[in-house]
Amino acid sequence: MPKQANLVDAAVEAGVSRFYPSEFGFDLTTPFNSVQPAYKFKVQIQNQLKELAATHPNFSYTLISNGSFADFIFDVPPMVFEIDPHNHTATVIGDPEAPTSYTSYEEYRL
C-alpha cells in the first residue's frame, strides 16, 4: 500500500477534492476488522486520509465497504468460513452480533 499512500499525497497536492481509496472489502471502521493483520495497510491509508481531510478543508474521501463476495466462500477449498447453506448454519468467529455484509459477484457482471 505504500504506492496508494503516495497517490493520496499527490491527490491532495494536485487539489483533488474527493478521493476513493482501494477499500473494497470488509468495513475497517469496526474494531474487530481494523486490528486484523491483513488490513494493516488499508487502516494506515484510512488514517492518512482522515488526517489530510482534517488539515485540508477542500479535501474529502469516501470509503466503500462491500463485504466479501459471497459467491466465492462456498467454492474455494478450504472454505474460509464454515457455512452450511443447506442447514442454515455458520460458525461465527468473533462477535456474533457484529454487523457484516456480503456482495454477490453476479451483480457486477454485465
Higher pLDDT, 62 or 27: 62
Model-level pTM greater than 0.75? no
- What is the rounded average pLDDT of the residues 32-36? 79
- Say if strands 83-84 and 89-90 run parallel, antiparallel, or are unpaired: antiparallel
Written as one letter, the residue type at 6 is: N
- Domain layout of the chain by residue ranges: 2-105
pLDDT tier, 23 (very low <50, low <70, confident <90, very high otherwise): confident
Q: Which helix (H) or strand (E) is 62 found in, with range?
A: none
Please check whether residue 80 is in contact with residue 73, taking contact to mean a CB–CB distance below 8 angstroms. yes
- What is the rounded average pLDDT of the residues 80-109? 68
Helical axes 40-55 vs 2-14, angle rounded to 10°: 20
- What is the rounded average pLDDT of the residues 7-28? 90
